[in-house]
Structure 1
Amino acid sequence: MRTYCIFFLLLIVTCSTKAQEFSSYEKPIETSLYSQALNDSVSLEITLPKELKNQTGKEYPIIYLLDRQLSNNYKYNLYAIDYLSTLQWMPNAIVIGITFSNKNRNSWTVPNASGGKADNLILFIENELNNELREKYPISNFNLLIGHSRTAIFSSYALSKSPEFFNGTIASSVSNFDFGDNEQHKQFELFLNKIVSSSHKYYYYFSVGEKSYGDLHESAVDTLNTYLNAKKLPKNLEWKYYKHKIAHDLTPGVTVGNALSEIFKDYGRRIELCFDLAKGSRNKVPWNDFLDLYSSLSSELGFKIQPSELFFNSIASEYYNDYDSIYGDNNLDFTLEILLKAIEEFPNDFEYNSWIGEIYITLKEIEKGEHYLNKAIELINNDKSVSELDRINYLKEIEALKTE
């Protein structure tokens, strides 16, 4: 019998020079959108998950990755998102890169009350841009801003100004409300009072380098940290302060990956939590507990999260291998229960059908076993993505199972 590895989908493939740039994302799409609110065109780059074209009924969180014009940090952070998504520590997202020119980076990040257009930029993102995205893609209501320096200050202001729309901010080398701006301070206080009644979490992750390494924002960010530590904050505000021994320009590269890992940590460890639930229920598959866990994650993040192939592969492997001898004679029955649910969600997956057929053969239910093995053969032959060599090997393996 074959041993099914828990994470068999997470193969690390050595990329050739002709390979696509990202593992989990398509090549970015460059575009622009005229904004009535800003009375100007906004240059954008849209990066979509590869799985989007094959998914139905799934909605994706949106990450607004500001300062696309700063290509080194921008590309580095795109790779961080791709890395975490590929290893399924964070959900696949739709990433929107927003470019700021030298003439608009200051004006678009300063609030209207102070002579800028930050409020107009917020209106553009939550109305004009969001409506455009909603027409084209299946987006959720989860919106995360990522900015650096001026755009970090803007991201903090946007979160405080529009918590009905934004869920969180990762702000590298930010400041204390634009270096002590009293109106932005008041706006943040209003934000803290307002979110208490919300049912989901808010995320505020910010960082700074050190002055001795060239980050002149250090003292301002220290006072922001002191302010937050001194206040009684809403329980649904999750925040963290990172201080790095690096220069101002380097803070995004060491902040964003860490912050995303923290924000999505419960999503990332969901399979481990499901393992614990399985091990705590030796006599039955705890479906309701599994679904309650996913429902809890969905409520916390504000968008629906469903069991994926990773869930079905991992939990089926837990029962099938039963390394700790927890499930006894039930292990194959539990594996079947998981896999039969899996093909309801993924009916064209030949691996699931083959695995189900193998288990039925092992249980001496030959007719059922051959039914699923024949279904697997049909699916393999119809799957154009399978190479001819792999097709031959899969078919040989299934024919061997039939003779056991």
Structure 2
Amino acid sequence: MMTKYKINCLIVFISILFLHSGQKPCFAQKDGDDIVIGKYSIIHSSILDEDRLLYIHLPRDYEDTQLSYPVLYLLYVDIYNYFADATITTEKLGGTGEIPPVIIIGVANTNRYRDLLPAKIRGRNEGGGADNFLRFFEEELIPHIDKFYRTKNFRMLVGPQAGAVFSLYALITKPELFNAVLSENPFMNPENADFLYPRAEQFFKNKESLKNFLYIKCERNERPQNLEFAEKLSKLLESEKPEGFRFKAEFKEPSGYFIPPIPFGEGLRMLFAEHKLPENFHTNSVKDVISYYEALSEEYAFEVDAPSHMLTFEGDKLSQQGKTKEAIELFEFQLSLYPKSLNALMRLGEIYRRMGELQKARQYYKTFLTIRDTDVAMIHNRLNMVERMISSSAACRIEQEIRKNGIQAGLRKYQMMRSDPNNELYFDESEFNAMGYRLMGAGKTDDAIEIFKLNVKLYPESANVYDSLAEAYMNSGDTENAIINYRKSLELNPDNNNAKEMLKKLKKK
């Protein structure tokens, strides 16, 4: 049975809006629609002999990819807005590439002390059911989630108070079950402190290596036994830390909250400290990015997918450096992971349009608009322009002919078009100019000169066409014709500072 999980808390509503405030609204939603961050699900446990309510949040791009995701299991989910806290924090950190996107599985309480504490509380007949609850995770809940969702073999367990005690107990009892544990203000009554610490001491002293992560946060105004246990465990791990085990304990000043917020941000950033590419990372090609995340996968012991946000950023850097081929490869790799990445689709459309490969540009623009067609006037305009060029541009036809059969065939095509009284194709100065620069950029300077000469014939009163022709002559080593055409450009536009500077340089030769 599935129903939507709605957040009615004003603070959460404002927080979600804040997270998306940098994006222009596309208004696919209707006035009055709910902001949905998850759904309920019910699982029956034979081990616990009861139904358990689950709170489930899937990453924002879950339905748009075929990727699998790490799973964060959250205790105490049905109180203190912990589910909302977890959702907002993981979406924010995942969106910036600081952590991988995660599936959140919140497990609601029924009798929390019974399930979460390994030892009974004296005089209260509570606790002692942690082993049973751990069996529920191992034999029922985790297999259930792995069956119905695309999960990676990397699991995190997060919990406050009694949930923190259970998470620590799970670490020393079934270390293979959870790769990482985030524990906040462990609720350590004397019975559970006396039960847990000697077992933790024995476990860590006898463990030579351990590929797990533990983060503990404890506020200094906590109950003395809670703080004492956390400090004692921290000292133990400093002296007995197994090889490969990552551990961090933080003792914070009081937050002022009766129930402090779970340290999602701090702990997850430490756990995935290297997930985001370093600021000084130098990308020469998509292979560099792939190699980085392959190495990270080895370190984290699960397949780490390069974040879409980072791929966009690195692709833009390559494009700005003039490494067009490498940028295309990187954006295409991005689409292989994230087929509905609007960033990659838009950039590939723009790159191919600038390259004059209009059929490819059109396809990327069209794909973009099948995903999002509102509030994207620029993409609509680009598509209209490209389709107009494909159907009616003389420059487009000539460039296609040059690519197939060479410059002379392209020039003949031009003459045929100009002499045909029924020709309805348009001749655009900027399109011919762009074609000339593409040829020059490809090292075909002589071909570029021929195209710029055509543009001079078409637009003899344009200062820019002479400036471009002069540049091509200069690049070919023909100083005399470069000077002639820069002078002509300056004659038509006395404010052409580029022509002035170039003439000074050429006259010095």
> Shorter-chain TM-score: what band?
0.7 to 0.9
Query: Per the alignment, in what secondary structure is the counterpart of residue 263 of structure 2?
Result: helix
Which of 314, 327, 335 is matched with 2:327 structurally?
A: 335
What SS does the aligned partner of 2:37 have? coil
| Residue 296, structure 1, aligned to residue 306, structure 2 | no
Query: 2: CA distance between counterparts of 1:18 and 1:195?
Result: 56
Structure 2: which amino acid aligns with 1:397? R
Question: Quick one: percent identity of the two aligned structures?
Answer: 19
Q: Could you tell me how far apart the structure 2 residues matched to 1:11 and 1:50 are?
A: 16
* CA positional deviation for 1:131: 1.6
Q: CA deviation at 1:138?
A: 0.8
Structure 1 residue runs without a partner (length 5+):
1-9, 279-283, 323-329
Check conservation: 2:349, 2:360, Cα contact below 8 A.
Answer: yes
SS at match of 1:28: strand
Identify if the C-alpha distance between structure 1 residues 93 and 234 changes in structure 2 by more than 3 Å, giving closer, same or farther.
same
Partners of 1:349 and 1:76 in 2: CA distance: 26
SS at match of 2:154: strand
Q: TM-score, normalised by structure 2?
A: 0.63
The answer to whether 1:171 aligns with 2:159 is: no
Q: Is the 8 A contact 1:156 1:169 kept in 2?
A: yes
- Cα distance 1:61–1:252, how it changes in 2: closer, same or farther (>3 A)? farther
User: Separation in 2 of the partners of 1:317 and 1:77?
Assistant: 31
Q: Alignment partner for residue 61 of structure 1, among 65, 70, 84?
A: 70
For normalisation by structure 1, the TM-score amounts to: 0.77
Whichever residue aligns with residue 260 of structure 1, its letter is L
Opposite residue 385 of structure 1, the aligned amino acid is R
Matched AA of 1:27? I
1-structure distance, mates of 2:220, 2:95? 32
Aligned partners of 1:126 and 1:165 also within 8 Å: yes
Question: Which amino acid letter does the alignment assign opposite residue 297 of structure 1?
Answer: L
Alignment-derived partner of residue 132 in structure 2: 120
Structure 1 residue 124 displacement after superposition: 0.7
Q: How many residues align?
A: 362
Q: Which amino acid aligns with 1:108?
A: D
Give, in angstroms, the shift of residue 155 of structure 1: 0.7
Match of 2:152 in 1: 140
Matched, 1:317 2:316: yes
* Correspondence 1:185 to 2:197: yes
Q: Is the 8 A contact 2:89 2:265 kept in 1?
A: yes
* 2:82–2:262 CA contact under 8 A, matched in 1: no
**Which residue matches 1:326?**
none
Measured at CA, do residues 113 and 135 of structure 1 come closer, stay the same or move farther in structure 2, by a change above 3 Å?
same
Which one-letter code corresponds to 1:171 in the other structure?
Answer: S
Gaps of 5+ in 2: 1-19, 122-126, 390-430, 435-509
Q: Is the contact made by 1:157 and 1:184 (CA closer than 8 Å) also made in structure 2?
A: yes
> What is the one-letter code of the residue matched to 1:156?
L
Q: Greater relative contact order: 1 or 2 (C-alpha under 8 angstroms, separation 6 or more)?
A: 1
User: Structure 1 residues 291 and 91, CA, compared in 2 at 3 Å: closer, same or farther?
Assistant: same
1:208 maps onto 2:218 in alignment: yes
Q: Which residue does the alignment assign to 2:422?
A: none
Q: 2:38 aligned with 1:48, yes or no?
A: no
Q: CA deviation at 1:133?
A: 1.1
Are 2:219 and 2:227, in contact at CA under 8 Å, matched by a contact in 1? Answer: yes
Query: In the alignment, is residue 222 of structure 1 matched against residue 231 of structure 2?
Result: yes
Structure 2 distance, partners of 1:67, 1:315, is 39
Aligned Cα root-mean-square deviation (Å): 3.3
Aligned partner letter, 1:285: S
Aligned equivalent of 1:236, options 244, 251, 274: 244
Aligned-residue offset at 1:249: 5.6
**Larger Rg: 1 or 2?**
2
In 2, the alpha carbon distance for the partners of 1:160 and 1:68 equals 23
Cα distance 1:128–1:321, how it changes in 2: closer, same or farther (>3 A)?
Answer: same
Of the structure 1 ranges 351-360 and 156-165, higher mean CA displacement relative to structure 2 is found in 351-360
1:79 corresponds in structure 2 to 88
Which of 94, 104, 114 pairs up with 1:107? 114
Which digits, 9 at most, give the CA deviation of each residue in 1:25-58, with x for residues without a partner? x5321232222222232222111123211211x2
- Measure, in 1, the Cα distance between the counterparts of 2:301 and 2:348: 35
